[in-house]
């Protein structure tokens, strides 16, 4: 699951080291405009300072920050890099410059800049924290943990963002209890933080503690009702509890907030499937298909809905599309075989049951289906073999007596056939 990670936002460094009166006046006017949230006005004033003194490092730094806040990351980097050439000993330049590269999602470059900044000041908590974040985004989890823990130590264990990112790191590595520990510590420092509440809900959800998960999601939504992922997982909890109407409402709310949330659309399709409303299920699956990166799963679901609705040609078409994307999926092979069986195409059903078993030989029910397929084709010896394999895997099957009787009958048919010859 993809997580939203906290990133330390850019803030303005307001410093004045100018010696010329005009520079000072223009610089201070820019500061006033910035404090009034007039970023464009502040930028124009500071550009006038640069026109007087192109080497004014304070102004270059502030322009770099403002350009970043205006979304002009490339220009921001230009100003900050120039400021760095003038004052390579300024820690804050590395911090802001690294942040700009992170905002551009160039985490490799951001990492390089933060590392250079730490050579200037190895005890910088914010550089350690953001270096950890960059490593996390680069999926270098071991190094991310190293720097985030250093940042946490420097903050005496009281940095919310660092605790949150350590939680995210543990979560991505599957260490749910450790993630819960970090998120809980972060929540103590910020009890109404919706991201932390939702993250704790996610941990509890995947620990199968649905009651606690529901509490966290509900609390987050009480502060901010427009969190799609919280509504989605509430829907998933209601679905697991068999409360399909409540689940449906949560999935619909998720889609109202984010129409591209394909997992909610797919889940809604699943509810309609359970309700045997196959046409509505198919409609929702097809919409989910537009945004889903897991298209094989969606084609599979569409195929199942068509199969349940006895629309065999469309079921076959969608199962084949799923197999094109995921050829080694035994379940899709099996469903395609089921479809051919139901429409009476036993030779093709045989082909795909065999392929499914090659991929996953422990599917007892597929041996049973294959036995029935052989029987329908009068391949009695092959049918007996598959029935026996089924009984080996399911020795306590409630169908055992019936299957043993079927095997006996088939053997008698084989004997008569041979005797007749």
Confidence at residue 419, expressed as pLDDT on a 0 to 100 scale? 63
Q: Give the chain's length.
A: 421
Residues 1 and 22 in one domain: yes
- 268 within a domain of the structure (yes/no): no
Residue ranges, the chain, pLDDT below 70: 1-20, 419-421
Q: 137, 66, 150: which is closest to 105 by C-alpha?
A: 137
| 153 and 29 in a common domain | yes
In a domain, 247, yes or no: yes
Instruction: Count, in order, helices (H) and strands (E) of the chain.
Output: 23, 0
Same domain, 182 and 208: no
Residue 130 domain flag: yes
- Domain termination residue (choose one: 158, 190, 222): 190
| 200 in the same domain as 79 | no
80 domain residue, yes or no: yes
CA 75/CA 72 separation, integer angstroms: 6
pLDDT at 421: 53
**Residue 29 falls inside a structural domain:** yes
Q: Tell me, yes or no, whether 233 and 175 share the same domain.
A: no
Check if the beta carbon of residue 359 is closer than 8 Å to that of residue 333.
yes
Assess whether 62 and 132 both reside in one domain: yes
Identify the pLDDT of residue 9: 37
Nearest to 57 by CA among 100, 92, 87: 87
- Please provide the DSSP assignment of 218-231 as one string: HHHHHH-S--HHHH
Give the number of domains in the chain: 2
Round to whole Å and give the CA distance between 265 and 138. Answer: 30
Residue 403: predicted pLDDT: 95
Q: Are residues 200 and 110 in the same domain?
A: no
206 and 67 belong to one structural domain: no
132-168 per-position pLDDT tens digit: 999 999 999 999 999 999 999 999 999 999 999 999 9
What is d(CA 107, CA 162) in angstroms, rounded to the nearest whole number?
17
The two three-digit tokens of residue 313, written as one number? 């040609």
DSSP 106: -
Any domain includes 127: yes
Place of tokens 């919706």: 194
> Do both 217 and 105 map to the same domain?
no
Q: Which residues contact 349 (CB under 8 A, 6 or more apart)?
A: 337, 338, 340, 341, 369, 373
Expressed as residue numbers, the domain containing 236 is 191-259
Look at residue 415 and tell me if it is in a domain.
no
CA distance 416 to 297: 47
- Residue 8 in tokens: 């330390």
Q: Which domain-ending residue is among 259, 287, 313?
A: 259
**Other residues' Cβ atoms within 10 Å of the Cβ of residue 13:** 15
CATH number, domain of 3, equals: 1.25.40.10
Do both 1 and 124 map to the same domain? Answer: yes
Alpha-carbon gap, residue 266 to 260, rounded angstroms:
11
Q: Is residue 53 part of a domain?
A: yes
What confidence score (pLDDT) does residue 164 get?
96
The verdict on 182 and 196 lying in the same domain is: no
pLDDT score of 211: 97
Query: Both 112 and 210 in a single domain?
Result: no
Burial class (CB in 10 A: 0-12, 13-18, 19+), 111: buried
Domain boundary among 173, 190, 207: 190
């Amino acid at each position: 699951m993809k997580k939203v990670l906290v990133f330390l936002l850019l803030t303005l460094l307001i410093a004045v080291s100018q010696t010329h009166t005009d520079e000072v006046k223009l610089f201070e006017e820019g500061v006033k405009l910035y404090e009034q949230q007039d970023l464009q006005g502040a930028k124009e004033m500071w550009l006038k300072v640069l026109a007087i003194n192109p080497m004014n490092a304070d102004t270059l730094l502030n322009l770099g920050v403002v350009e970043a806040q205006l979304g002009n990351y490339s220009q921001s980097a230009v100003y900050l890099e120039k400021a760095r050439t003038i004052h390579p000993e300024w820690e804050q330049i590395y911090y802001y410059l690294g942040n700009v590269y992170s905002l551009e999602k160039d985490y490799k470059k951001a990492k390089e800049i933060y590392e250079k900044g730490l050579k200037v000041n190895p005890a910088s908590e914010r550089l350690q924290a953001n270096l950890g974040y960059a490593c996390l985004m680069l999926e270098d989890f071991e190094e991310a943990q190293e720097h985030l823990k250093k940042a946490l130590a420097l903050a005496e264990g009281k940095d919310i963002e660092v605790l949150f990112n350590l939680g995210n790191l543990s979560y991505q590595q599957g260490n749910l209890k450790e993630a819960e520990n970090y998120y809980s510590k972060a929540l103590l420092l910020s009890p109404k933080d919706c991201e932390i509440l939702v993250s704790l809900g996610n941990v509890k959800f995947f620990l199968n503690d649905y009651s606690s998960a529901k509490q966290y999601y509900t609390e987050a939504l009480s502060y901010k009702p427009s969190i799609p992922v919280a509504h989605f997982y509430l829907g998933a909890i209601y679905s697991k509890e068999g409360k399909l109407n409540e689940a449906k409402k949560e999935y619909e709310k998720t889609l109202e907030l984010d129409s591209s949330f394909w997992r909610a659309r797919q889940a809604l399709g699943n509810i309609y499937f359970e309700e045997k409303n196959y046409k509505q299920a198919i409609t929702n699956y097809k919409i989910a298909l537009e945004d889903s990166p897991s298209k094989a799963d969606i084609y599979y679901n569409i195929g199942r809905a068509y199969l349940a609705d006895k629309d065999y040609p469309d079921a076959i078409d969608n199962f084949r599309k799923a197999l094109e994307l995921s050829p080694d999926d035994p379940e899709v092979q099996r469903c395609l075989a089921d479809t051919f069986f139901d429409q009476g195409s036993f030779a093709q059903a045989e082909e795909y049951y065999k392929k499914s078993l090659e991929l996953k030989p422990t599917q007892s029910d597929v041996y049973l289906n294959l036995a029935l397929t052989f029987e329908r084709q009068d391949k009695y010896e092959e049918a007996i073999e598959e029935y026996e394999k089924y009984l080996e895997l399911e020795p306590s099957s409630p169908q055992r007596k019936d299957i043993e009787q079927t095997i006996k009958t088939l053997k008698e048919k084989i004997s008569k056939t041979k005797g007749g010859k």
